[in-house]
Amino acid sequence: MSNHDEPKTETLAETENYLAWKAEEPDGETTYHIELNNVTVHFFEEEWQEFLQLAKLLK
């Protein structure tokens, strides 16, 4: 039996030490997460888009 209260998760990118993933929350919100060793940063959609803009500037 499936639990509808659990988010549906998807890995976006992964390296040996880092992981980026997203979660489709039961309330319809999409959240994004970056795991950097033992630290996890959580983003809502608007924050994620701004973070991606920042990451592009780092190149």
Tokens of 7: 């988010």
Predicted confidence (pLDDT) at residue 40 exceeds the cutoff of 70:
yes
Q: What are phi and psi of 28, to 5 degrees?
A: 95, -10
Q: What is the pTM of this model?
A: 0.86
CA-based nearest residue to 23, from 31, 35, 34, 14: 31
Predicted confidence (pLDDT) at residue 13 exceeds the cutoff of 70:
yes
H-run or E-run covering 53: helix 45-57
- For residue 45, name the pLDDT band (cuts at 50, 70, 90): very high
